[in-house]
C-alpha cells in the first residue's frame, strides 16, 4: 500500500465523492451544507493547503484524507475527510494516511495539526495525538477534537 497526492489521481474524485456522501450524509447528503465533489477538487494541490491524499493498493484507491480547514471545528490545518474503504479497515490504511498528512504539514511549515472524530480515538492516542475538547457534529453525534504537535 502507498499514499499519493489526490492531484495525481483526480479521476478518483467522483468515486470518493460518493464515498463521502454515503459516510457523512448529514454534511454531504442531499440536505447537507457540504459538496463532496467541490471539496475534493479544491484539494488537488501539491504544495499548499488544502491538499488531498489517497491510499492505493495495487491500482485501487482504498482510502483518502486531506489537510484543510475543518468546518466542524473551525481549526486549520486539520486532517479531514479521512475515510478507508470498509473492507480495508483495520489494516493500517488510516495510520498511513495520517502519517502522510503529518509529513506534508510539517514540510509546509505547520507546527500543529487537528482532527475531529468519533471513531479514531485509540489510533490517534497511539500515534501521539492528544484530546483537546469535545465537539458535537451536525447529526448530534459527540466526538473529540485531537491535536498533534509536529
Domain ranges of the chain: 2-149
Q: Report, at the CATH architecture level, how domain 2-149 is classified.
A: 3-Layer(aba) Sandwich (3.40)
Cell 497511539 locates to 126
pLDDT digits (tens, 9 = 90+) for 114-143: 999 999 999 999 999 999 999 988 777 899
pLDDT digits (tens, 9 = 90+) for 56-97: 999 999 999 999 998 888 899 999 999 999 999 999 999 999
Q: Residue 148: pLDDT above 90?
A: yes
Q: What confidence category does residue 109 fall into, taking pLDDT thresholds of 50, 70 and 90?
A: very high
* pLDDT reported for residue 122: 94
Amino acid at each position: 500500500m502507498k499514499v499519493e497526492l489526490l492531484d495525481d489521481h483526480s479521476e478518483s474524485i467522483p468515486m470518493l465523492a460518493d464515498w463521502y456522501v454515503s459516510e457523512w450524509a448529514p454534511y454531504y447528503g442531499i440536505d447537507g451544507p457540504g459538496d463532496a465533489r467541490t471539496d475534493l477538487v479544491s484539494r488537488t494541490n501539491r504544495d499548499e493547503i488544502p491538499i488531498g491524499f489517497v491510499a492505493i493498493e495495487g491500482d485501487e484507491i482504498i482510502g483518502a484524507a486531506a489537510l484543510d480547514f475543518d468546518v466542524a471545528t473551525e481549526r486549520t490545518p486539520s486532517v479531514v475527510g479521512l475515510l478507508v474503504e470498509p473492507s480495508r479497515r483495520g489494516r493500517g490504511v488510516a495510520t498511513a494516511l495520517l502519517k502522510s498528512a503529518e509529513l506534508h504539514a510539517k514540510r509546509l511549515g505547520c507546527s500543529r495539526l487537528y482532527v475531529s472524530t468519533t471513531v479514531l480515538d485509540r489510533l490517534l492516542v497511539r500515534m501521539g495525538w492528544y484530546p483537546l475538547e469535545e465537539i458535537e457534529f451536525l447529526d448530534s453525534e459527540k466526538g473529540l477534537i485531537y491535536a498533534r504537535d509536529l
